[in-house]
Amino acid sequence: MAGKGDSALHFVAWFTGIVVSLVVGFGMINGTLGLPAWLGGGSTGGDFIVLIVGWIVIITTIISAVMAVLKS
């Protein structure tokens, strides 16, 4: 049975997911997070891929958060 506490827990889980996704995306853009050397990390191409993926993570996270807020 779903109670009132379940909706609060779902919100906390959703909010945590949004925050973690944004932290990871910004970490990739700022160069804090990257690919390991054996996957091309530290090279120009590898750094560019990490930068692009970081922006994709941020943009899709913001879009999904806005869609979730508008849906409720």
Nearest to 22 by CA among 51, 59, 50: 59
**Confidence tier at 3 by pLDDT (50, 70, 90):** low
Statement: residue 1 has pLDDT above 50: no
What is the per-residue pLDDT across 4-53, written as a single tens digit (0 to 9) for each? 667 889 999 999 999 999 999 999 999 999 999 998 888 999 999 999 99
Domain boundaries, the chain: 22-71
Of residues 1 and 10, the one with the higher pLDDT is 10
Helices (H), 1-72: 4-30, 44-71
